Amino acid sequence: PLPFESNNWAIYFSNTKPIQSDSSDAFDITHINGDLHALTPTKNFTGFEADASLEIPFKGTFWSISQTDATPNYFIVSGELEPEIIQSTQEQVNTSTEEAYLPFVAEFKRPEQYKRSEQDNSPLADAEHLYQYYQNLQASTAAESQPRIIPKPAQSNWTGDTMSLDKGLQLPADFLSSALGKLFSLESLPLSQTGLLVQLNQDDDIAKQGYQLDIGDTIQLRYRDTAGQFYGLITLAGLYDPDSNSLPKGQIQDQPRYDFRGVHLDVARNFHSKTFIEKLLDQMALLKLNKLHLHLADDEGWRLEIPGLPELTDIGGYRCFDLTERRCLQPQLGSGPFKDTSVNGYLSVTEYQQLLQYAAERHIEIIPSLDMPGHSRAAIKSMEVRYQRLMAEGKTEQAQRYRLVEPEDKTVYSSVQYYNDNTLNPCIDSTYRFVEKVLSEVQAMHQAVGVPIQRYHIGADETEGAWVDSPACQALMQQQGINEADKLTGYFIEKVTATVAGMGVTAGAWSDGLSHVDAQKLPEQIHANVWGTLYWDGAKTAHQMANTGWDVVLSIPDVLYFDFPYSAHPDEPGYYWATRSTDSFQVFQFMPDNLPVHAEIWRDRMGNAFRVEDNTPLQDDARAYGIQGQLWSETLRLDSQVSYMLFPRLHALAERAWHKADWELAYTAGQSYGPDTNYFDQAHRQQQLADWQGFAGTLVTGYLPLLTQQELMFRLPPPGAVIEHGVLS
Ligand code: NAG
């Protein structure tokens, strides 16, 4: 029993948005850092009876309308006693798909919380609609008469006949025995020397990553490079029907729409297991997605072992109740007081290298990212523990070497996630020594297993407010003629991208950071993740950066952030700062080549109309280089929750990243643009809906079972269910 009669206790809890005031003079609520708060009794607290309950209403800024806002693992700490968890919101997503369905058939109980304001028109996906939708989809799968895979090939012609594989098939053995071969049940194919040989022919006339597949009396696969051969075999496996042991006869000519077809996974906020990442890589491969942007460090965690700097992972890989942060980082994001939970952890060098190889075998490039100079709290705190240790050992010089704190910097700021100590100082040498040390270790890890690092993402987002009162920065600004502290982000980017380029590696960064730089001062090749919203400056920034000659990867949050809810139902998990909902249909109907143009009107799901910022026309030879789906993990503690958020939106992403649909060509610039806007004439709208039906049917019959096979959670019923504009999504 805890001594509630004493005033010597506190309840710690996470709340995404800071709490402004509470209504009781018996308690104080203090913001500690980030989302961590403490509720403590004041001298007016006189105790309460055993089993009594007490309500303490408090006011926050905003965001209090969905289950995600009720962060779990409130815990109480009292005197010398071990912390104890006193409240834990039930995790919404369980590990079996059956159970995952349950929250959505449960009665919709909280209509009063659903609308954010009187004007909020977000469509409601209630249980009945979801259920109906699933039933309809299953019934409509017969509608697709042509063989179909995801993503849809550029061109295909089917004869209508099938080829029986009674005599077996000879496929390259390594493909058959791979995890992918097993996923497609190919290992059940009778393999014999007499089986039909898949004839593999290299051909320089085929496009990069492309292939041509002829299935007739023989099977011929022509390709230019090994990626093309791999994708051709994936297609063949996707067409194989194990029930009839046959393949459809026909010809496919295929090549990707974008070179860069990416997924961003944040394992920094909440750690996610290597096993999960491997399953994700399998699914990416079969969807022909080829880049994994792995977000390995942020304020709440450092997830990659760096030889020589053990504190980064010994301290920075864990959150637990230690407000001094000498043993671990403090609790955040509802991680509770204990070290031993799945949100904690990191990848050892060996595990990371195994992932690199696993990805390379599937023609996937891993793009490591250790976000800097903002979002760097885990690094700063871990390296401070190291500093203290070395100082105590009398090793002053070594202690200073990689120290990330300038003690004289008295700047008071609050980052977007409410930290006041999370930004590397771009004006001290030890910052760059640290960056170079980390980068050289990462490069060495890649080299040691023969998977050279090609791209490195420096982060560079969200740095506002820091350095204003840093003496080192004041001196540097004077020396460099920099007039505002914010522009130091540009200075940091220039220096670090030069280091990255010097290693023979392409540097990537988020677009808000890149907007602080003078392009002339950067290496020629820059990879820019554009994350402005479509209704504000996303399209404009994408065009400007593409015109600069950079590799623009569209990471538009209102369509491509998969940490947002599928629908605006309060039981749906996820953040919603850029949109209340993004369902799979919205991703499917995204037209990355047709971003809104000058003065176009964007309509959001709340019925609001925005005039999109004046756009810059794209120069003739400029275009987006790729698209990427983002999964940030602040709200996603379990692997199963991440999986639920990714699938099946990832299938829709793959469809648009690989295949440009005919109906996209019918879009006329200047019309209203938005998540549910009808951009076309009726004929093209019908064409789009038919395409969607075919896609959705293929998803249900061909692709969701592969997720089940790998015990990967997905959203059921798929994909979303909004009965609006005559379309279910
Ligand atoms: C943005 C942050 C990111 C965060 C995400 C959540 C970027 C580039 N930056 O504020 O750290 O996790 O939103 O949706 O997205």
Instruction: Give residue-wise pLDDT tens across range 305-318.
Output: 999 999 999 999 99
Give the model's pLDDT for residue 189. Answer: 66
Question: Using CA positions, which residue lies closest to atom 4 of ligand 1?
Answer: 632
* Ligand 1 atom index nearest CA of 531: 8
* Ligand 1 atom index nearest CA of 459: 8
Write down the pTM of the prediction: 0.92
Interaxial angle between packed helices 127-140 and 682-698, expressed in degrees from 0 to 180 and rounded to the nearest 10: 90
* Ligand 1 atom index nearest CA of 575: 14
Percent of the chain with pLDDT over 90: 57
Could you write out the three-class secondary structure of 83-126? CEEEECCCCCCCCCHHHHHHHHHCCCCCHHHHCCCCCCCCCCCC
Question: In terms of DSSP H, where are the helices of 503-564?
Answer: 511-514, 538-547, 557-560
* Ligand 1 atom index nearest CA of 416: 10
Residue 142 has pLDDT above 70, yes or no: no
Average pLDDT, integer, range 245-255: 95
Give the model's pLDDT for residue 126. Answer: 46
Give the model's pLDDT for residue 729. Answer: 40
Range of lowest pLDDT (95-104, 107-116, 413-422): 95-104
- Ligand 1 binding pocket (C-beta < 6 A) is 416, 461-462, 510, 531, 561, 563, 575, 632, 634
- If one residue of 632, 633, 636 were mutated to test the ligand 1 pocket, choosing by the most ligand atoms within 8 A of its CB, it would be 632
Range of lowest pLDDT (329-338, 525-534, 660-669): 660-669
Angle at 185 between CA 180 and CA 188, to 5 degrees: 125
Range of lowest pLDDT (138-152, 233-247, 331-345, 371-385): 138-152
Average pLDDT, integer, range 294-315: 98
Give the model's pLDDT for residue 726. Answer: 32
Average pLDDT, the chain: 85
Give the model's pLDDT for residue 46. Answer: 84
pLDDT tens track for 455-501? 999 999 999 899 999 999 999 999 999 999 999 999 999 999 999 99
User: Ligand 1 center to residue 632 CA distance, Å?
Assistant: 7
Average pLDDT, integer, range 337-353: 96
Give the model's pLDDT for residue 70. Answer: 76
User: Ligand 1 center to residue 405 CA distance, Å?
Assistant: 24
DSSP-derived letter for residue 212 is E
Question: Using CA positions, which residue lies closest to atom 5 of ligand 1?
Answer: 632
User: Ligand 1 center to residue 460 CA distance, Å?
Assistant: 11
Give the model's pLDDT for residue 144. Answer: 60
603 against 690, higher pLDDT = 690
Q: How far apart are CA 399 and CA 160, in angstroms?
A: 72
User: Ligand 1 center to residue 564 CA distance, Å?
Assistant: 11
User: Ligand 1 center to residue 563 CA distance, Å?
Assistant: 10
User: Ligand 1 center to residue 26 CA distance, Å?
Assistant: 36
Q: How far apart are CA 211 and CA 253, in angstroms?
A: 6
Contacts of 199 (CB under 8 A, 6+ apart): 218, 219, 220, 221
Q: Which CATH architecture has domain 155-254?
A: 2-Layer Sandwich (3.30)
Interaxial angle between packed helices 488-502 and 471-480, expressed in degrees from 0 to 180 and rounded to the nearest 10: 80
Most confident of 62-71, 241-250, 374-383: 374-383
Q: How far apart are CA 108 and CA 105, in angstroms?
A: 8
576 against 676, higher pLDDT = 576
Residue 653 has pLDDT above 80, yes or no: yes
Q: Which CATH architecture has domain 9-87?
A: Sandwich (2.60)
Question: Using CA positions, which residue lies closest to atom 9 of ligand 1?
Answer: 461
Which amino acids are annotated catalytic?
Answer: 462
Q: Which helix (H) or strand (E) segment is 502 a member of?
A: helix 488-502
Confidence at 111, pLDDT banded by 50, 70, 90? very low
CB 626 within 8 A of CB 262: yes
pLDDT tens track for 572-631? 788 988 887 888 888 998 999 888 766 566 666 655 667 666 667 788 778 889 999 999
343 against 79, higher pLDDT = 343
Give the model's pLDDT for residue 717. Answer: 46
Give the model's pLDDT for residue 94. Answer: 33
**Peptide bond just before 331 cis, omega within 30 deg:** no
- Residue 107, both tokens: 């009665």
Phi then psi dihedrals of residue 319, to 5 deg: -125, 135
Contacts of 381 (CB under 8 A, 6+ apart): 315, 316, 325, 329, 421
Confidence at 93, pLDDT banded by 50, 70, 90? very low
Q: Where are the domains of the chain?
A: 9-87, 155-254
User: Ligand 1 center to residue 531 CA distance, Å?
Assistant: 9
Question: Using CA positions, which residue lies closest to atom 13 of ligand 1?
Answer: 632
Give the model's pLDDT for residue 673. Answer: 67
Give the model's pLDDT for residue 232. Answer: 94
Give the model's pLDDT for residue 670. Answer: 60
DSSP-derived letter for residue 552 is E
Give the model's pLDDT for residue 101. Answer: 33
* Ligand 1 atom index nearest CA of 266: 12
- If one residue of 369, 461, 580 were mutated to test the ligand 1 pocket, choosing by the most ligand atoms within 8 A of its CB, it would be 461
